[in-house]
Structure 1
Amino acid sequence: ELAKDWRTDRVLRRLEALMVAADRENLFLISGAGDVLEPDDGIVAIGSGGPYALAAARALVNHTRLEASDVARIALEIASKICIYTNESITVEELS
């Protein structure tokens, strides 16, 4: 329904942006074109440091037993050391 409304809105369909929508069971990446994507591995990242954070998160998930909040924080810290547009000021909020 969101994708349909998005695509029919004159302003939103031209938006060049990404948005992450999640709850405790679902995780989606929504593009500016209104495409709704569900990641195969349950990991998404957006922004200038997104590709670095995504790679770091995938490695951490596959090779450690860290909690999701720790994976997110560490992946963002790694991205901040690589991408000049990503800073180290990180706030992690968990859904309950």
Structure 2
Amino acid sequence: MSDTDFPGWHGTTIIGVAKDGKVTIAGDGQVSMGQTVMKGTARKVRRLTPGGAEIVAGFAGSTADAFALLERLEAKLEAVPGQLARACVELAKDWRTDKYLQKLEAMLIVTDGKELLVVTGAGDVLEPEYGIAAIGSGGNYALSAARALADTDMSAEDIARRAMAIAAEICVYTNTNLTVETIG
């Protein structure tokens, strides 16, 4: 697919940090089209409550596509309560094999407070090393910052917030308007 097929939507950084029995997922609020900021207050981190369970999910990519995936994830979690990894694997399998889902352009970071997982359209369900995962335009910047801060006395939330601030200083598609959810 070439750059001319899509209008050049960018603008998400999502990070998940697990530390000391807590998991924080943070996401910025910027959505850009080319060199223009279209919105600075998007909410890309959500709490889900399938069957009464508490799940936090952050998404990068197309908003409509991400919402379609989050709805599917909720259905999978209701089918296998308390089994986040299994629900994510089932979602990834559907994502790879369903002709409609294959076209979805998004990635997810999800947690139930115990597990932290990255789910991709390539069929991956990844448990990140060191309890830190990041996706989106500024994901590598946030990941690097969080890894550098992981051995400090900072909490998972403080690390996520500081890593996002560093990413926003470097990545033009990331801002400091954060949505932060901690679970665990």
Flag the structure with higher strand content.
2
Amino acid at match of 1:72: A
Give me the TM-score of the superposition, normalised by structure 2.
Answer: 0.49
Aligned equivalents of 2:123, 2:102: Cα separation in 1 = 7
- Match among 163, 169, 182 for residue 81 of structure 1: 169
Flag the structure with higher helix content.
1
Q: Which moved more, 1:23-32 or 1:5-14?
A: 5-14
Taking only the aligned residue pairs, the percentage that are identical comes to: 58
- Structure 1 runs, 4 residues or longer, greater than 3 Å off: none
Aligned equivalents of 1:91, 1:7: Cα separation in 2 = 29
- Match among 17, 27, 33 for residue 116 of structure 2: 27
Structure 1: which 5+ runs fail to align? none
Q: Which has the higher contact order (CA 8 A, sep 6+)?
A: 2
Aligned equivalents of 2:177, 2:106: Cα separation in 1 = 22
Amino acid at match of 1:84: V
Structure 2: which 5+ runs fail to align? 1-89
Deviation at 1:7, TM superposition (A): 1.6
Partner of 2:97: 8
Give me the TM-score of the superposition, normalised by structure 1.
Answer: 0.89
Structure with the greater alpha carbon radius of gyration: 2
Count of residues in correspondence between the two structures: 95
Q: Which moved more, 1:1-10 or 1:45-54?
A: 1-10
Tell me how large the CA RMSD over aligned residues is: 1.3
